[in-house]
Chains A and B, each alone.
Chain A
Amino acid sequence: MTLDYKAATEKYEPTLGLEVHVELNTNSKMFCSCATEFGASPNTQTCPVCLGLPGALPVVNGKAIESTILIGLALNCSIAPYSRFARKNYFYPDMPKNFQTSQYDEPICVDGFLDVEIETDEGPKVFRVDIERVHMEEDTGKSLHVGGSTGRIHGAEYSLLDYNRAGIPLVEIVTRIIPGTGKYAPQVARAYVTQLRDILRSLGVSDVKMEQGSLRCDANVSLAPIGSGLLGTRSETKNVNSLRSVERALTGEIERQANRLEAGERIIQETRHFLEESGLTRPGRSKEQAEDYRYFPEPDLVPVTPDAKWIEELRAKLPENPADRRKRLQREWNVPDSEMNSLINAELVDVVEETVKLGAEPTRARTWWLGEISRLANEKEVAPTSLISTAFVAEIIALISSGDLTDKLARQVVEGVVNGEGSPKEVIEKRGLKVVSDDSALMVAIEAAIAAQPDTAERVRGGNIPAAGALIGAVMKATGGQADASKVRELLLKHLGQG
């Protein structure tokens, strides 16, 4: 008999541990001045240093140190006044020096935490995730193993190596073990990575694109019988390339481990690879015999000793925590949860805030970005923000609020701006889009409509108010949609003795 997830977590308590690797978005690599652009032709962004040519020496990228300190501060870490790089020695063809320059026992940031909120059966609950360390290292190159069935180096016919990624600054954020999450372990993990991603984005230190590998999560989990107080043997799942995958991978892994334990088998300490299609994991490298990396302090680099004053300057520069900011904005804009989530998922919080800052009414700003502009963006398969500036949106909303534009007209203005017809003013000018608010002009149209549909007019006079719809529609049509429909209604009803 197999356990499903529910049964598994009723019997076993998961303990999490998360390692997140972040590629910094510095213009140059960690230890040389090579470019870091994603997707460049293989081996075009290399030099003697990142190729590990004999004699070449590393020099630390100061911007990478700054970014790492910012991350540490945002995660409530202490910043070490003295930290060092170390060499992690192991052989692999995509590592030019056959050692990775990393930080080992003297990392730059230690002892932080991040509070994450998830929805539980009992309502929202906050879990504190303790951060053990944040440290700097360099990325490896990329291998492409050609031939063979597994896509791995063993069994491949030949391998291609691209060193463009070798030496890209990486920051590794390691949590302490996260106990006590129970069945919520996968959600806590997902919420942690989500919140971390948002923080990193708000700091502007990384592209945080999981699908491109600029944010990677290794999820460790172990199980122990509930109440046993024990810590089980863990597995480490790699290749988790989306937020959803974090949750799926852990759910699957908890189920897998529970069933092994049920069957009386032991858990092997190993690296496992997440398979996106099936949601399962397959075994990778066993860590039973811990590899000896022969760490020692990197003699080619001097210790990192950030000035305390500089750290305080960086702390003062920290942006508002994204989670706090969202709560504040939701309150200020008076937005229901569901719609706030829509804004967040559509990554439109920033532009809406900007549009509001430019004077737009929050509800309108939200509706326009999430509605019409997103719709057009979907059609064109581009980001909404690339279609129109926040200033133009704010201008259009202001015209709506002042009654100079109807929603319908405003849609045309937006369309015009998106089509490159110029600023909202220019579009209004060119297309002649102006609310017809002149009563006498409207009255001419109203009288014409009544003349065209005398029976309908008679019904309205007789008290059948809904019948007025047909007349209003005719007026709107006659004025090319530029009239304010409520104004037309008011004038019409008054004229027919119903006002």
Chain B
Amino acid sequence: MTNIHSTAAEMASALAAKEISSVELTKQHLDRIAAVDGKINAFLHIDKAGALEQAEVIDKKRASGEKLSPLAGVPIAVKDILAQKGIPTTAGSKILEGWRPPYDSTVVAKLKAASVVILGKTNMDEFAMGSSTENSAYGTTQNPWDLARTPGGSSGGSAAAVAAFEAPLAIGTDTGGSIRQPAALTGIVGVKPTYGAVSRYGVVAYSSSLDQVGPFARTVLDTALLHEAIAGHDERDSTSINAPVPQVVAAAKRLDVKGMKIGVIKELSGSGFQAGISARIAESIELLVAAGAEIVEVTCPNFEYALAAYYLIAPSEASSNLARFDSMRYGLRVGDDGSRGAEEVMSATREAGFGKEVKRRIILGTYALSSGYYDAYYGSAQKVRTLVKQDFDNAFAKADVLISPVTPTTAFKIGEKSNDPVAMYLSDIATIPVNMAGIGGMSLPVGLADEDGLPVGLQIMAPVMQDDRFYRVGGTLEAALLSKWGQPILSKAPDLTVQK
């Protein structure tokens, strides 16, 4: 019986077999959202009417025998950073309150073309700046595993929605770990594809050279199905790669890693990572060895500078990307009472419309790009970026994929790090190098930490445009873990309908 706990692949085949309609499936999810989202706060906007209308159209198409795409009729949640025509798009910020884009982002257009039903827009750290959703201007999202904890961020709303069975699929963006970290903290699968594999057109920019759109789902196969639906060259994004999309669905179904070399990154293991995390990673390595993979240790000596370099490059680009929010053409406008000039209105609007973390990064980036400081900050950071790439090149010369934990700790408590930016930044220590090098990475749930019973994520990384490799390894390990556990990891999560 297909229900909200089914995988997207199961939903898709039930829909194809007409065992359930898209309208019924959409209603089930809208009911679930109505029942639990008051506790989770994953959604910023629920497009009930739009979703049902879309589902109805898809059902009619199916009834008329029209050929539909693999995910046709399956619902999805979309991070509120992707423009969707006519639907509020805030990027988690007050400054965009009330803005309804006049156009669809490429990814939203692809989802619509693939007949995926868009349920609504999900919560996030303002402009994707943060690792907990606590920087959202619209309140924090709670982790379905423990409502006192954050789901991670910045795509915390999307991750929580999938983990709380409010949607089987979700779209996130990942600039320094914003898909992989919340996936790890909520026990689901999240993928940051190779930079340029998925179009950024219509994605409100945080850091253009690092931002990448990617899929969330509860299984590797579901993630791959969504990956294939959204990836591909887009002539409206100059940085989009003009090459065929790697065969990620086939890779997810392969369930075989015999002969693959898996590199364990020395700098991203051992001390600095929670014991329960290291234990689950060690178990995963054993399972991969048992499945026929060969383990090699690799060293990436420049990773230790990656975090610092990231916090120069990303804020620099952000300081420029966010300059357009000036109240002149859209969004919030403050102080326009006839007594103030344009410059004062711009200033008052930005003062009122941006949150603390956003202002911090704008100031940081403005400083780093200033004449006289550019070389020391932005320039040096770009050099680090080259060194991080070299580290990956050297490591991939020895291994087909690399692995590490996704996060140093499991989900942390709401408020725990919100007054300590550096502690918060450290949440992304293992994920940032991937963005710096422009390669792809997956976060795969590999169990619960013994000390707190919270999900642990394993990061699997592959070279540029070899994203199929981490689907192959992820799919194989997922199957091994499932046969060990007997049931999916999310079955261990608390029942939200009774939890307070």
Residues of A that sit less than 8 Å from B by CB: 48, 51-60, 87, 89, 91, 93, 96-99, 153-154, 159, 161, 292, 294-296, 299-302
Contact = CB atoms under 8 A, between A and B. Distances in A.
A301 B202 CA distance: 15
B201 A153 contact: no
Contact of B324 (A54, A154, A299): A54
Given A99-B323, A300-B239, A54 B101 contact: yes
The 8 closest A-B pairs by CB, nearest first: A98-B323, A299-B208, A294-B369, A299-B209, A55-B202, A54-B204, A55-B83, A97-B324
Contact of A93 (B201, B205, B326): B326
Contacts of A153: 341-342
Nearest to A145: B342
B324 A98 contact: yes
Interface in B310-350: 316-317, 319-320, 323-326, 328-330, 341-343, 346
Secondary structure class of chain A's binding surface, majority of residues: loop
Given A294-B371, A300-B239, A98 B326 contact: yes
A59 B96 contact: no
A268 B238 CA distance: 43
Given A53-B330, A59-B236, A294 B320 contact: yes
Given A299-B208, A300-B239, A51 B89 contact: no
A292 B370 contact: yes
Nearest to B316: A296
B328 A93 contact: yes
Contacts of B207: 299
A370 B200 CA distance: 58
B372 to A, nearest CB: 9
B238 A57 contact: yes
14 contacts: A52-B329, A55-B101, A56-B103, A57-B238, A59-B235, A89-B319, A91-B323, A97-B324, A98-B323, A98-B326, A294-B320, A295-B369, A296-B317, A302-B238
B215 to A, nearest CB: 19
Given A292-B370, A299-B317, A300-B239, 16 more contacts: A48-B103, A52-B324, A53-B83, A54-B324, A56-B201, A58-B238, A89-B320, A91-B326, A96-B324, A97-B323, A98-B323, A98-B324, A294-B320, A294-B369, A296-B369, A299-B207
B173 to A, nearest CB: 11
Contacts of B101: 48, 53-55
A301 B238 contact: yes
B237 interface: yes
B208 A300 contact: yes
B297 to A, nearest CB: 34
Contacts of A292: 370-371
A302 B239 contact: yes
Contacts of A161: 328
Q: How large is the interface on B (under 10, 10 to 19, 20 to 34, 35 or more residues)?
A: 35 or more
Contact of A87 (B320, B325, B370): B320
A153 B342 CA distance: 8
Nearest to B317: A299
Contacts of A300: 205, 208, 238-239
Nearest to B372: A292
Contacts of A299: 207-209, 239, 317
Interface string B356-392: 0000000000100111001000100000000000000
Interface of B: 82-83, 89, 91, 96, 99, 101-103, 105, 200-205, 207-209, 235-239, 316-317, 319-320, 323-326, 328-330, 341-343, 346, 366, 369-371, 374, 378
Nearest to B209: A299
Contact of B369 (A52, A89, A154, A301): A89
Nearest to A157: B338
Contacts of B378: 296
A292 B205 CA distance: 23
Residue with the highest number of chain A CB atoms closer than 10 Å, among B89, B209, B237, B324:
B324
Nearest to B81: A55
Contacts of A54: 83, 89, 91, 96, 99, 101, 204-205, 324-325, 330
A306 to B, nearest CB: 15
B44 to A, nearest CB: 15
A93 to B, nearest CB: 5
A296 B368 CA distance: 11
Nearest to A298: B208
Contacts of A93: 326, 328, 342, 346
Contacts of B89: 54
B200 A53 contact: no
A59 B91 contact: no
B45 to A, nearest CB: 16
A159 B323 CA distance: 20
Contacts of B105: 55
Nearest to B371: A292
B127 to A, nearest CB: 10
Contacts of B374: 294, 296
A100 to B, nearest CB: 11
Nearest to B105: A55
Given A57-B201, A300-B239, A99 B341 contact: no
Contacts of A98: 323-324, 326
Nearest to A94: B328
B204 A55 contact: yes
Nearest to A143: B342
Contacts of A99: 320, 323
A85 B197 CA distance: 22
A96 B321 CA distance: 11
Nearest to A52: B324
A53 B102 contact: yes
B366 A294 contact: yes
A59 B370 CA distance: 27
A89 B369 CA distance: 10
A125 B357 CA distance: 63
B320 A91 contact: no
A96 B320 CA distance: 12
